[in-house]
Amino acid sequence: MSITAGYHKIKTSSGKYLTLLSQTGNVTAQTSNGATNQTWDVQPAGSSTYTIRNTGYDTSTYAYSAGQNGSAVTGSTSSLEWSIVTSNGNYFFLPGSDNSLAWNVQDDGSVKLNGKQLTNSGQQFTIDNWAMSLQRAHQTFSTPRLAWTRLNKGANKSNTLLGVPGLGVPNTIVFFARRKLKLRSLFSL
């Protein structure tokens, strides 16, 4: 069982998801909330190592740690390579430079590096398949044909305009008014 490159939600043995609450904050285990700061983009970085980027922030924010026993796993604009190993259907996240340490969920929900113990439930993670479906949806909906562009940035949320370029109808606009969806095609603006 190996991890595939792409978007994933990383689930703890207690059923919570790894969450980055601020761009440079600590990684913590939180109840699923559907937010993008609970989704991680895992990409190969070298020979059996990966970068792990959180998707919840505008700039590249990676899982990072000082690499010492007891140090927190945090967000950072600096990337760090991680080894991801599997055992008995679980994933373990290890600093690429030191395979004696592993991510460990603490009693308070924070994630720190501690000595690797494959039987420690705080170090055992699974990958939520929903996030892999999200990756396929992202690849589908990020095409220019289906990209949504917000046209009106006004504070009135009951009247929001969104453009849907390239649907075959020139200048298509979706108008949300009082929670009713109306599709209007404007041939000239």
- Block means of pLDDT (10 residues each) for the chain, 189 residues, are 87 97 95 93 90 90 93 94 94 92 98 96 87 44 35 37 38 38 39
Q: What is the token pair recorded at 104?
A: 């460990």
pTM: 0.69
pLDDT at position 97 is: 80
pLDDT at position 130 is: 53
Cα(8)–Cα(31) distance, integer angstroms = 15
* Cβ 88 vs Cβ 98: under 8 Å: no
pLDDT at position 129 is: 62
Cα(110)–Cα(114) distance, integer angstroms = 12
- List CB contacts of 85: < 8 A, sequence separation 6 or more: 91, 92, 94
pLDDT at position 103 is: 98
